[in-house]
Chain A
């Protein structure tokens, strides 16, 4: 029987209240959102916070919307809500691709976007997704808000720039024309972490890739971003040969380790191949931007 160690519990009633509680209980306090990573780790006694600050009542942090030319996602938004969001899928189909393969439907009902990002598991799907999208993370602290690039958010496995006393409140993504995006993951079974996965975002100018964002999951790349392959893609033609070379570069520069999910050379192969597939799909979507939202589509999505 797995039971967490003794812990104190506080229910936050607003963001300000959550920040006040964080200040009062200090660095041994942990924010409790969906709890679907934190509670299992507490059961295994891998983490043993003194106080849980439950933010599940903060409706003000649960939203998905477009304002000021950006898609804004509240940190307490559940995975299932992002997967169901038509507006999110219309702008960034990659969000639906990734959400569809995160954990399983029941876990997605309660796990949160902000919780996944702050847990910062190296195999977590959204970190590479938001790195590819060049998203911004908005962090609230006692002295106000600060904005951090998705690529500066993680400082290492299970570590982020969110300091004790701070709270991730929002993820925002700039909406720019010519955008297409996709996420490709290979896992052993439903609900498992990926063996490897690739996130691709392109901004096209005609037949040219004006700019690209590439993310890689679970293969040991810094900030979840395949920077060398992105540099190669910038200004390159949106063609098969380009995708293949980008995949080769991405594979060359990743640093996977062998574990129970597979040997390193297999993961490196996947990093390259999944980069190619994600790029191919992202470019196809960029060329057909209208009416290709993926909301409520079954998990097999062969036509897109």
Chain B
């Protein structure tokens, strides 16, 4: 079947089987390998992306269900650098990404894309969350390195830092 999905602002039209899972569409058809294919049972959350404006586990959503909708993946978190043709170099990390870097929020990094996508959504809806609210928001996602303390610290860090101020001291809004 023919589907058109807007991923990170770009429309992608592809012929797919109805049984194709969204995570495989993103990784294998579009080459967007930032979203990770983890437990395959909607338990671990490594595959979390936004469908329209909502975090979902993309191993449990069909690509067909995203037809005509928007998807946002971890590749879209950073603002691309204006001077380097959209390679991402010279761009600006999202405060969530910066927070994970500052607070050592990842060890192996496998769960990180999903953790960051849910964290970005949380901060968009609750800009100043408590540690408990962060734990609740991320409770459906598993870090098998068990680095939860630093993940919570990373999101707290992000909540205290607007984009741009992290790198340049300037607020972007």
Contact = CB atoms under 8 A, between A and B. Distances in A.
Interface of A: 1-9, 11, 32, 35-36, 39-40, 42-43, 52, 54, 56, 80, 103-107, 109-110, 190-191, 298-300
27 contacts: A2-B40, A3-B21, A5-B19, A6-B19, A9-B64, A35-B60, A35-B62, A36-B57, A39-B60, A39-B61, A54-B64, A54-B65, A103-B140, A104-B45, A105-B118, A105-B139, A105-B140, A106-B56, A106-B140, A107-B57, A109-B54, A109-B55, A110-B60, A191-B43, A191-B139, A298-B136, A299-B136
Contact of A107 (B40, B51, B67, B140): B140
Q: Which of A32, A42, A43, A109 has the most CB of B within 10 A?
A: A109
Contacts of B10: none
Contact of A52 (B18, B41, B51): B18
A52 B67 CA distance: 15
Given A9-B64, A32-B65, A36-B42, A106 B136 contact: no
Contacts of A40: 41-42, 60
Contact of B133 (A106, A191, A298): A298
B65 A104 contact: no
B40 A298 contact: no
Contact of B18 (A1, A9, A104, A109): A9
A36 B19 CA distance: 14
Q: Which of B57, B60, B141 has the most CB of A within 10 A?
A: B60
B132 interface: yes
